[in-house]
Amino acid sequence: MFSVAKADRRRRPAVGIGYRSAIAEWTRANLKCFDLLEVTIDHCIYGSATQCAEIFDLVGRIPINAHGIGLSIGTDVPLDLAYLDQVAAIVEQLHAPTYSEHLAFTRVPGRDLANLLPLPKTIAAAESIITKVRTVQSRIGVPFLLENISYAFEWPDSNLSDADFLNLICRESGAGLLLDVENLYLNSQNHDFDAYEFLDKLSPDLVREVHMAGGIAISDAGLQRSFLADTHSHPVPNETLDLLQYALSLYAPQTIILERDDRLDATGEILADVERIRSCVDQRSKYAKDKGLVRSSSSSARIPD
């Protein structure tokens, strides 16, 4: 059986892609190009028998990370425990070393937007998430990671920064962070904050896994400038790779996954992006040394006693 521990020994993150059924055959034919794959658990739960069989056939041939999109941990109702139990069973079947989900909500009772929405970045919202993370941890047998999402709008009562909100939840709950570097880049551009400062503020040892992707800029009559959207459809922008390089100088994630959900026929772009990510990994030590980088201290947000 493969293990992501291989990446630990080499002290460099394993690099792979998100598994997608639409390019299953191509992925199987090119397994040697990747150190690991990331499987979307919901595709195993709701996908067809053929799709599931193809996924489980990969177990033992390549390390697999487990990622979810259906938990909606941010919806302010109790977690769906039946769903969590299905997740637990699949994580076990995949021999996945971690289970990750988005720090977001997608639905409320009676309505499902099927799109990740942000939470108000407040102490109260953080408390609610921390409780739920503990529930997840009690039912899933592997470490749980939360992923930062890209968001179009902010709740007006948000009073914590993105980094402080994540630090608080992860520190209090023991969850790790799946750092989506593309989401960080998009948010920093769309909402005018310094992405490098965000990385400086993240707590040490928080970043366990990384997501990379490429999106598009869209125009809308109501917007003063283009909006950068997380479409997982195009090559990773250079700015996102620069951020990755900086993140790698500060943190030691075990894995880096390239996400691609559109224009999947452009497989050459996928392989090229994997290579660009690998180059960043190779250069990380040199980068840190050249820049004399030192990780700053973590955030000060705390849940009041």
Binding site for other proteins (CB under 8 A): 46, 48-51, 53, 70, 74-77, 105-115, 117, 120, 124-125, 128, 152-157, 218, 220-223, 227, 229
| Pairing between β-strand 105-108 and β-strand 111-117 as defined by DSSP bridges | antiparallel
CB 51, min distance to other proteins, A: 8
Q: Positive or negative CA dihedral for 194, 240, 96, 15?
A: negative
CB 193, min distance to other proteins, A: 15
CB 113, min distance to other proteins, A: 5
Residue closer to other proteins (CB basis): 40 or 245: 40
Residue closer to other proteins (CB basis): 113 or 293: 113
Residue closer to other proteins (CB basis): 229 or 252: 229
Q: Positive or negative CA dihedral for 82, 175, 108, 87?
A: negative
Residue closer to other proteins (CB basis): 52 or 271: 52
Residue closer to other proteins (CB basis): 50 or 285: 50
CB 119, min distance to other proteins, A: 8
CB 230, min distance to other proteins, A: 10
CB 72, min distance to other proteins, A: 10
Name residue 206's amino acid. L
Residue closer to other proteins (CB basis): 85 or 112: 112
